[in-house]
């Protein structure tokens, strides 16, 4: 029996225990479940995988990522995620964690960024190196207060554009992010939706991604989170680590400023 089925069983058993109480919402149940396993999150395995990848020699240049500059200087991982996205002088653009990892894998290790970006997410059959690396890096910001800057004009612009992408309605259903995430206390079916224009909700949501998804048995990155939102929005696919995704991330990250980062999280 693998970890996924054990977890699902635990979730189902827990759900069954509550089935009699009709008033208990899914989110309450998941909160309960989170408490049950608060000593360990399956995302820990992905975090460990990411850490060994960070320290492993790889690519045509046979280098590790230990000299990667995530914004706080070469090799500084602690607290780096709490200040991302940010403007990077060497690339001349604002980058989120995954876009920055892509730069480092390409510059330091000589790996092909386009190839990585073409298949960036883990599947049941194949883990994703860039995703595991992201899980490792975010884990090193656990407990650190989100402090994303908009001081640089490019950071400010990214924030402003991200805010506009948040309410950009398009596609066959006329949906925007804001269609589901700009009203408080609403849900799709039984799934509660955070109002991401409200600081408290934005903080709770943003600081718990990346997360281990029990229903998928995989740890999912923030780029994945946005990608799957756009899928359900009936949009075409956002290009991995593209400016549109980084700008949207900037808007959401700034909204989460002031809260202690709590990821990797655990979600249904």
Partner 1 sequence: MKAKWMIGTVLIASLAGFSAQAAESKLDAKTAEIVKRDFQDRGIARADRVVQDELQALCSKYHDKLPAKLKSKMEGEQAEAIKLPADDKYMGDWKAGEKLAQSGRGMTWSDKAEDPAGGNCYNCHQLSAKEIAFGTIGPSLLHYGKIRGNSLEVQRHTYGHIYNAKAFQACANMPRFGHKAILSEAQIKDLVALLLDPESPVNK
Our CB check for partner 1 shows the closer of 224 and 235 to be 235
Using CB under 8 A as the binding criterion, the count of chain residues that bind partner 1 stands at 42
Our CB check for partner 1 shows the closer of 126 and 189 to be 189
User: Using CB under 8 A, which of 161, 218, 250, 266 touches partner 1?
Assistant: 161
Q: Is 232 in the site for partner 1 (CB under 8 A)?
A: yes
The tokens for 171 are: 């596609």
Residue 206 CB, nearest distance to partner 1 (Å)? 21
97's torsion region: left (phi>0), alpha (psi -120 to 50) or beta?
Answer: alpha
Do the Cβ atoms of 134 and 98 come closer than 8 Å?
Answer: yes
- Mapped onto helix, strand or coil, the DSSP state of residue 170 is strand
Q: How far is the C-alpha of 78 from the C-alpha of 136, rounded, in Å? A: 10
Q: Is 124 in the site for partner 1 (CB under 8 A)?
A: no
Residue 62 CB, nearest distance to partner 1 (Å)? 33
Q: How far is the C-alpha of 67 from the C-alpha of 80, rounded, in Å? A: 14
CA distances from 241 to 9, 15, 162, 184, 261 (A): 35, 37, 14, 29, 21
Residue 32 φ/ψ, nearest 5 degrees: -60, -45
How many residues are there in the chain?
A: 268
Q: Is 6 in the site for partner 1 (CB under 8 A)?
A: no
* 229 is a catalytic site residue: yes
**Closest-CA residue to 42 (of 261, 221, 265):** 265
Per-residue x/- track, 28-67, partner 1 (CB under 8 A) = ----------------------------------------
User: Using CB under 8 A, which of 169, 215, 258, 260 touches partner 1?
Assistant: 169
Our CB check for partner 1 shows the closer of 62 and 185 to be 185
Q: Is 165 in the site for partner 1 (CB under 8 A)?
A: yes
User: Using CB under 8 A, which of 5, 91, 123, 242 touches partner 1?
Assistant: 242
Our CB check for partner 1 shows the closer of 103 and 141 to be 103
Q: Is 123 in the site for partner 1 (CB under 8 A)?
A: no
Q: Is 91 in the site for partner 1 (CB under 8 A)?
A: no
* Stretch of residues binding partner 1 (CB under 8 A), selected from 10-18, 130-138, 146-154, 171-179: 171-179
- The secondary structure of 61-102 as a DSSP string is TTB-STT-BSSSSBT--TTTGGG-SEEETTTTEEE-HHHHHH
Our CB check for partner 1 shows the closer of 36 and 160 to be 160
Burial class (CB in 10 A: 0-12, 13-18, 19+), 216: middle
Catalytic residue numbers? 229
Name the site residues for partner 1 (rule: CB under 8 A): 22, 157, 160-161, 164-165, 167-176, 178-180, 183, 185-191, 193, 230-232, 234-239, 242-245, 247
């Amino acid at each position: 029996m693998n970890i996924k089925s054990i977890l699902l069983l635990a979730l189902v058993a827990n759900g069954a225990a509550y089935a009699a109480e009709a008033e208990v919402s899914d989110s309450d149940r998941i909160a309960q479940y989170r408490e049950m396993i608060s000593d360990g999150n399956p995302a820990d395995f992905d975090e460990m995988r990411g850490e060994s990848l960070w320290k492993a020699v790889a690519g045509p240049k046979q280098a590790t990522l230990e000299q990667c500059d995530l914004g706080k200087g070469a090799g500084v991982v602690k607290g780096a995620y709490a200040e991302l996205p940010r403007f990077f002088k060497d690339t001349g653009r604002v980058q989120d964690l995954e876009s920055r990892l892509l730069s480092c894998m390409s510059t330091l290790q000589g790996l092909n960024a386009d190839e990585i970006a073409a298949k960036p997410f883990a599947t049941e059959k194949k883990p994703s190196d860039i995703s595991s690396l992201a899980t490792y890096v975010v884990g090193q910001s656990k407990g650190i207060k989100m402090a994303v800057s908009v001081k640089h004009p490019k950071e400010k612009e990214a924030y402003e554009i991200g805010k506009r992408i948040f309410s950009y309605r398009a596609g066959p259903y006329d949906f925007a992010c804001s269609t589901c995430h700009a009203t408080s206390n609403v849900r799709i079916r039984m799934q509660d939706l955070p109002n991401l224009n409200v600081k408290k909700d934005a903080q709770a949501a943003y600081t718990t991604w990346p997360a281990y998804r029990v229903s998928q048995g995989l740890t999912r990155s923030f780029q994945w989170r946005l990608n799957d939102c756009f899928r359900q929005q009936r949009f075409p696919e956002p290009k991995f680590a593209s400016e549109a995704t980084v700008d949207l991330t900037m808007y959401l990250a700034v909204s989460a400023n002031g809260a202690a980062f709590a990821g990797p999280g655990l979600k249904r």
